[in-house]
Amino acid sequence: MSSPSALRGEGPIEAVVDAAEREAERYAHGEDRPLGGYLAITAAYAATTIAGVALVRARHRPLPAVSVRDVALAAVGTFQLARIITKKPITSALRAPFTRYEGSRSPEHRSRSTSLATGRARKV
């Protein structure tokens, strides 16, 4: 059985791009949201982080001992990362499949409704 994208002569990349564009339109809900730019910045950050981790691992040096201070710092960092992922506009491209943009109240507090709350759960 052929898929709709195969019937139109599209390849898998075009189908993914079309699906991403439809998802971005559905998320933005008529607002101007630069999800493509946000996704590019997030991907560049992730690639740089992965390259740094690979470089450290390639040096084969032993890791230092972990202190209580290090654990506390990691906990604070995890909290801040969770806030960035859930609240900042830069990560809206990651949230787009699960939420819909409903406008902003302030730069620090964005309003979203989850697709799960509206009964529109999707598989990832």
Q: Which residue has the higher pLDDT, 31 or 113?
A: 31
pLDDT of residue 106: 56
Asked whether residue 124 is domain-assigned, the answer is: no
Number of domains in the chain: 1
Asked whether residue 123 is domain-assigned, the answer is: no
Asked whether residue 67 is domain-assigned, the answer is: yes
Where does residue 96 rank: exposed (0-12), middle (13-18), buried (19+ CB within 10 A)?
buried
Q: Which of 14-18, 98-102, 117-121 is predicted most confidently?
A: 14-18
Nearest to 28 by CA among 20, 60, 78, 16: 20
* 29-88: pLDDT as tens digits: 667 777 788 888 888 989 999 999 899 889 988 878 899 999 999 999 999 988 888 888
Asked whether residue 47 is domain-assigned, the answer is: yes
| Whole-number Å distance between alpha carbons of 52 and 57 | 9
Asked whether residue 121 is domain-assigned, the answer is: no
Asked whether residue 42 is domain-assigned, the answer is: yes
115 pLDDT band, cuts 50/70/90, is: low
112 pLDDT band, cuts 50/70/90, is: low
Q: Domain limits at 101?
A: 4-114
Asked whether residue 40 is domain-assigned, the answer is: yes
* 9-25: pLDDT as tens digits: 578 888 888 887 887 77
| Whole-number Å distance between alpha carbons of 95 and 76 | 22
Asked whether residue 84 is domain-assigned, the answer is: yes
| Whole-number Å distance between alpha carbons of 112 and 27 | 9
